[in-house]
Amino acid sequence: MLTLNSRLLTLLFLTLGLSVQAQKKPADANFVLIPPGTSEADIVRNAATLRPSARQLRWQQLEVTGFFHFGVNTFTDREWGDGTEDPKIFNPTQLDARQWVRAAKEGGIRQVILTAKHHDGFCLWPSKYTGHSVKNSPWKGGKGDVVREVADACREQGIGFGVYLSPWDRNSKLYGTDAYNDYFVNQLTELLTQYGKVDEVWFDGANGEGPNGKKQVYDFDRWYELIRKLQPEATIAVMGPDVRWVGTESGYGRETEWSVVPANHMQPEGIAERSQKDLAFKPQGDMMGDDLGSREKIRTAKALVWYPAETDVSIRPGWFYHSKEDNQVKTPEKLLDIYFSSVGRNGVLLLNVPPDRRGLIHEADVAALKGWKRLIDDTFRTNLAKGASVRHDSGRGAAGLPDGGPSHWTTNGTETTGTIELALKGSQTFDVLALQEDIASGQRVEKFVLEYWANDAWKKAAEGTTIGYKRLLRFNPVTTDRIRLRIESARLNPVLTALGIYRLAK
């Protein structure tokens, strides 16, 4: 709870940040300023035509990403270190980053983020700028570098690599002074220049200093600029402009999740200095509410931005490894439920799997990851709509939709409602619906319903609100040879790229 509260407070009390470029939306912009007096219809249209940046799109398509929380806390059995740890306690006996990455991959994780520095300030790489690091530990005689081992293992095994660098630093003497921003920039530079490609940089909002603690004004603008310069394809999460914290650490995102949200702190002033693509802003305001992007919320927006949700959760109760939690690793079934409620709710899942004191992903976690992946694969292996014929298409392009591959169904003109009716290949029993919007054109669907034909009538199987990149719904099994999907409401003509029905694996 402390974590949630402190992050929320940090978000709420951040000063206004902005670096936008133009009042008009450039063709590939992921933001737009809304001039005063803009009609509601135009605001809605603006929201419906915003698109993710290339780096946001790549990140969204990963679907499942991972966290490795590892550091002095692993050895002190704590969640938050205080920075007074003796580096000598860091001594994994069998550290094998390849095993971490293999375990992650076996769970379907396609990019991992390593806690290069957590709040204790201890660096998993031999930073030139502090002694509080692996170089003063007995591990590999002080010659080791966990960041390098993980980065190399990711590259070798073909998954993305990201770094978590905690702004809050309880060890650095500089924390609370201007010089800390230089220290941070130096450390970021090391991480972004010495290890090859970095795909995500994760800045945490947590800060537990309390009212009488040290106060540090973070120079986010400078950090963002540095990342854009050194690793232009990296997404900056969650105290950053590309990826939004979903608002909970439970793994369960919102049923209604809009990737376009108001960004009222963006102002036209100061627009000129930066390139339009390098939009960088600090997140601000409530990230935890039930509704961040509905028509109600965007009606009064001064600016809108594509700012998609990342759903972070740990496979264990804690973020760091604690042996007492070996029997509390989430089961494959629980992880599947989380998958449906994160990836299946227009989010990217960020699942933490903490290496243990040996420097290995524990057997219990490895087994859970494998079991989870099997459930996902078994569920989604066969789309039972495949081979269906289109009985009715109130728009155009439904024919290829159930068969996967590149297909785009949309309505005629800018119609915001539409129906696709499919005659399945024989009678099928299913209890899962998967839908995808073509988010490269924007997010539009507000309400949909899946119906099936039984006893000479259409009956409701499932209904939902937003789709976005992906929407997964589970329902009581139905058996039928005819289904129809009705889009009941959208912000602009909906564009769907996938429609699947499946049987949930056991």
**Would you call 135 helix, strand, or coil by DSSP?**
helix
Residue in this structure with the two tokens 């995500």, named with its chain if needed: 200
Cβ at position 319, least distance to ligand FUL in Å: 4
- Any bridge partners for residue 305, and if so which? 31, 261
Site for ligand FUL, residues 389 to 408, rule: CB under 6 A: none
Q: Closest distance between ligand FUL and the C-beta of residue 325, in Å? A: 15
3 near ligand FUL, judged by CB under 6 A: yes
- Phi then psi for residue 66, to 5 deg, are -135, 160
Query: How far, in Å, are 19, 98, 249, 438 from residue 470 at the CA level?
Result: 30, 31, 20, 9
Give the nearest residue (CB) to ligand FUL: 206
Quickly list DSSP for 182-248: HHHHHHHHHHHHSSS---EEEE-------TTS------HHHHHHHHHHH-TT-EEEESSSS-EE-S-
Q: Which is nearer to ligand FUL, 281 or 319 (CB)?
A: 319
Of the pair 175, 319, the CB lying nearest ligand FUL is at 319
Among 341, 350, 435, residue whose Cα is nearest residue 104: 350
Name the amino acid, one letter, at 163.
Answer: V
- Number of residues lying near ligand FUL (CB under 6 A): 7
Phi, psi of 449 (to 5 degrees): -140, 140
Site for ligand FUL in 190-249 (CB under 6 A): 204, 206
Q: For ligand FUL, which is the closer residue by CB, 3 or 419?
A: 3
Specify the DSSP class assigned to residue 77.
T
d(CA 26, CA 23): 9
> Residue 265 corresponds to which tokens in the numbers above?
């702190």
- What the block records as the tokens of 194 is 């010495």
x/- mask, ligand FUL, residues 78-117, rule CB under 6 A, reads -x--------------------------------------
Q: How far is the CB of 186 from ligand FUL (least distance, A)?
A: 22
How do strand 389-393 and strand 31-33 relate by DSSP bridges?
A: unpaired
CB of 369 to ligand FUL, least distance (A): 18
CA dist., res. 239 & res. 22, Å (int): 23
Q: Which is nearer to ligand FUL, 63 or 310 (CB)?
A: 310
Q: Output the smallest distance, CB 9 to ligand FUL, in A.
A: 11
Could you tell me which residues are beta bridge partners of residue 393? 420
Q: Which is nearer to ligand FUL, 184 or 448 (CB)?
A: 184
**For residues 308-327, which are near ligand FUL according to CB under 6 A?**
312, 319
Residue 76 is a binding residue for ligand FUL (CB under 6 A): no
Give me 100's structure tokens. Answer: 């971490």
Name the pairing type of β-strands 418-437 and 389-393: antiparallel
Write down the least CB distance from residue 204 to ligand FUL, Å.
Answer: 5
* Longest distance between any two alpha carbons in the chain, whole Å: 75
Range 415-444, binding ligand FUL (CB under 6 A)? none
Q: CB of residue 67 vs ligand FUL: minimum separation in angstroms?
A: 7
Instruction: Compare residues 78 and 474 and give the one whose CB is closer to ligand FUL.
Output: 78
Decide whether 100 or 319 has the Cβ nearer to ligand FUL: 319
Beta bridge partners of 81: none
Q: Which is nearer to ligand FUL, 43 or 351 (CB)?
A: 351
Angstrom distance (rounded) from CA 310 to CA 65: 9
Question: In terms of CB distance, is 114 or 424 closer to ligand FUL?
Answer: 114
Nearer to ligand FUL, 79 or 255 (CB): 79
Q: How far is the CB of 351 from ligand FUL (least distance, A)?
A: 11
Residue 254 within binding range of ligand FUL, rule CB under 6 A: no
Minimal distance, residue 363 CB to ligand FUL, in Å: 23
Nearer to ligand FUL, 5 or 328 (CB): 5
Instruction: Tell the burial category of 324 from Cβ atoms under 10 Å away from its Cβ (0-12, 13-18, 19+).
Output: exposed
Q: How many CA atoms lie within 13 A of 392 on its CB side?
A: 10
Q: Strand pairing partners for 436?
A: 498
Minimum distance from CB of 338 to ligand FUL (Å)? 15
In the complex, least distance from residue 275 CB atom to ligand FUL, rounded to whole angstroms: 31
* Cβ 7 to ligand FUL shortest distance, Å: 5
Q: How far apart are CA 123 and CA 131, in angstroms?
A: 9
Least spacing, CB of residue 193 vs ligand FUL, in Å: 24
What distance in Å separates the CA atoms of residue 203 and residue 199, rounded to the nearest whole number? Answer: 13
Among 7, 25, 51, 330, binds ligand FUL (CB under 6 A): 7
Q: Measured from the CB atom, is 72 or 462 closer to ligand FUL? A: 72
Q: Which residues pair with 33 in a beta bridge?
A: 303
Q: Pattern of binders to ligand FUL over 258-287, x per CB under 6 A?
A: ------------------------------
**Radius of gyration for the chain, computed over Cα atoms and rounded to the nearest angstrom:** 24
Task: Using the minimum distance from each CB to ligand FUL, give the nearer residue, 7 or 316.
Answer: 7
For helices 363-380 and 97-106, give the axis angle rounded to 10 degrees.
Answer: 30
Interface with ligand FUL (CB under 6 A)? 3, 7, 79, 204, 206, 312, 319
